[in-house]
Chain A
Amino acid sequence: MTLLIFCLWLGNICCDTIGQISFKCAAISPKNRENWRYWLDLLCNYWLWLGVLSYGVGFLLWIAFLTLLPLSQAILLGSANIIAVMIMGRFIFKEQLTPFRIIGVSLITAGVILVGIG
């Protein structure tokens, strides 16, 4: 049971992270043009659809996760994806992890957990 919960949790975080990284890849794709052509190019970009698919799977995993755990505990674990996206952004897009950014993201994560518990 706990192994199942852990796998669902890990799967959900992976899906959320892959989804956001894919969206970013689609948004900064060099093929992109201006105006309405940007959206046309975006819709033809396979990164966008990988992101959408990943969100779909993540949504199902989250629902399954929520049926096994109370929401307050689930939010506690679910907020880990904020950290995961930041770390992946660091490695894939070379986003700088300045002290202020780390403090900011940590405070938001703590806040999300408190609201979830509250």
Chain B
Amino acid sequence: MKRFYLIGFALLLFFDTMGQTGFKFSALNAQPLDYSIEWVLRILTNKWIYITTLSYMGAFFTWMVLLKKVPVGPAFAASRTQIVTVMLVSVYIFNEQLTVTRCLGALLIIAGIIFLAFAEKKLNKRSVKQPDESIQ
């Protein structure tokens, strides 16, 4: 179960981050933005839009497999970890600024994930003691 969660969320995070990065690269490569057919063609002839599409499909499949087992409320919150990974990618690849508030926000998100993991551990222990109770 633990492995399922770890692999599932890691994959989801990878696909989500890849998708957002791909979007940004597509936008950059299609510059200038002029709302013309040429702009659309520049997007469609760029490999990044296809990487983005594949990433989104991967994220969808991973999310559906995860949802078979995980509770949707906490999992939806946990999927927001992509904000932290996208932020790190933006700093390294696109030289975007890292402010104190953003770092603090990222730390809070990571702290939240740790709490959710602890909650899962506790609920699993409880369901081992009372096997008739569902894990959810």
Contact = CB atoms under 8 A, between A and B. Distances in A.
Interface of A: 20-21, 23-24, 26-28, 32, 39, 42, 82, 85-90, 93-96, 98, 100-101, 103-118
Contacts of B77: 82, 85-86, 104-105, 108-109
Interface SS of A by simple majority: helix
Given A106-B112, A114-B102, A98 B119 contact: yes
Interface of B: 61, 63-65, 67-68, 71-74, 76-78, 80, 83-84, 87, 99-116, 118-119, 122-123, 134, 136
B108 A90 contact: no
A89 B115 contact: no
Given A87-B73, A95-B71, A96-B136, A105 B102 contact: no
A105 B116 contact: yes
5 contacts: A94-B136, A105-B116, A108-B112, A111-B83, A118-B99
Nearest to A28: B68
B72 A96 contact: no
Given A28-B68, A42-B64, A118 B115 contact: no
